[in-house]
Structure 1
Amino acid sequence: MSVTTKICGLSTPATIDAALRHGATHIGLVFFPPSPRHLGFAQAEQLTARIPDHVGRVGVFVDPDDESIERALVSGRLDVLQLHKVSPDRAAAIRARTARAIWAAVAVKTRLDLDAARSFVGAADRILYDAKTPDDARLPGGMGLRFDWSLLDDFRHPLPWALSGGLDPTNVAAAIARTRADLVDVSSGVESAPGVKDVDKIAAFLKATQP
């Protein structure tokens, strides 16, 4: 099975280049000021210039306003908008307005949480299953938390989907084997400190996703 890979939260030329060199199919650019991985629009424009057209540029947003999305679309030349804490109606409106593919994040802790995926049919192009963070957490993801992959057993996915949450070079192969995910997403699992990506961990993660 061919697995596609998103390295998320990249913020330096060296880490962008490492992800590309080792075969990442998608690069995630975070536009959320509370995150240690947040990019300013000028910084995003400089980094995006390094990404070839065959690699997907994914903008990551948390309950964004229209102006932020528009500025990020231009600076990041985004192909995909990954939306956290956004309702299906809002996702559908953003999709219609931007004509971009929408990945809707669904936070998972229990089997019942998966039901939210069905509400995004017609509003999103892909579901990103991520680990649910504590209620008082400042960030909706990127905290190294994972959910119980067995929750996905026999679940009838209403849309194409991706696996996120707590993945790293040591467990991603097992995660792929267990869930049959065809797209995996990593952020904190390839960092040496919050927001600081490690080129060796990026290389190891991408190697581990290959058959």
Structure 2
Amino acid sequence: MRVSAKICGLSTPDAVDAALAGGATHIGFVFFPPSPRNIAFDRAAALTAAMPGETGRVGVFVDPDDALLDSAIDAARLTALQLHKTPPERTVTIRARARLPVWAAVAVKTRADLNSAARFRGAADRILYDAKTPEGAALPGGMGLRFDWRLLQGFPHPLPWALSGGLDAENVGEAIRTTGATLVDVSSGVETAPGVKDPARIAAFLRAVAAS
């Protein structure tokens, strides 16, 4: 079974080129000003202008308002929305208004955290299991944290899902084998510093995914 990969938080042509050359199926653009990966609308538009149509363009948001969503969707020609810290009720509204697939992020530290995934049945199209960040953290993800992947073993997923949180070229193979993930998502694991993507690390990550 082929495993797909999303490279998230891209902001430079070199990083986008490396992701596309390595076979990433999805590219993620962060629209959240506190994040070091936040991207301006004009830059996102320039980066996506030449991207092939079959590559998913995922906008990453933290409980966004309609104005932000509209601007980002138009600028980056988004094909999906990834929502963090957004309750199911708001997720339903966004999905209906945008008419785009929605990925709902579920922050995980314990097995009990997985139960919140069921709340997005009928509200989202995909669950993104991500590591729970510390209380009071400025960012909901992209901090290089991972959770115990064994928590997903035997879990009855309510929707198609993807795995995120602390992945890199060295551990993604183990993560895939442990969880059975068919879509993996990386951000900090292909960086040299927060927000600074390394084309070589992107290539290595995608090679590791392809070998899994």
| TM norm structure 2 | 0.99
Letter in 2 for 1:122: G
Write the distance in 2 (CA, Å) between the matches of 1:35 and 1:52.
Answer: 27
Give the corresponding residue for 1:118. 118
Give the corresponding residue for 1:195. 195
Write the distance in 2 (CA, Å) between the matches of 1:161 and 1:128.
Answer: 6
**How far off its partner does 1:58 sit?**
0.2
What are the within-5 Å matches in structure 2 for residues 72-151 of structure 1?
A: 72-151=72-151
Write the distance in 1 (CA, Å) between the matches of 2:158 and 2:147.
Answer: 19
Write the distance in 2 (CA, Å) between the matches of 1:91 and 1:154.
Answer: 26
**How far off its partner does 1:50 sit?**
2.7
Write the distance in 1 (CA, Å) between the matches of 2:51 and 2:141.
Answer: 24
Letter in 2 for 1:29: F
Give the corresponding residue for 2:40. 40
Structure 1, unaligned runs of 5 or more: none
Give the corresponding residue for 2:2. 2
- What secondary structure does 1:175 align onto? helix
Identity of aligned pairs, percent? 66
Letter in 1 for 2:51: I
**How far off its partner does 1:136 sit?**
1.5
Letter in 1 for 2:34: P
Give the corresponding residue for 2:21. 21
CA RMSD across the alignment: 0.5
- What secondary structure does 2:210 align onto? coil
Give the corresponding residue for 1:156. 156
Letter in 2 for 1:175: A
The worse-fitting range, judged by mean Cα deviation, of 75-84 and 49-58 is 49-58
Between the two proteins, the alignment pairs up a number of residues equal to: 211
Give the corresponding residue for 1:166. 166
Write the distance in 2 (CA, Å) between the matches of 1:50 and 1:106.
Answer: 32
| Greater than 2 Å deviation, 4+ residue runs | none
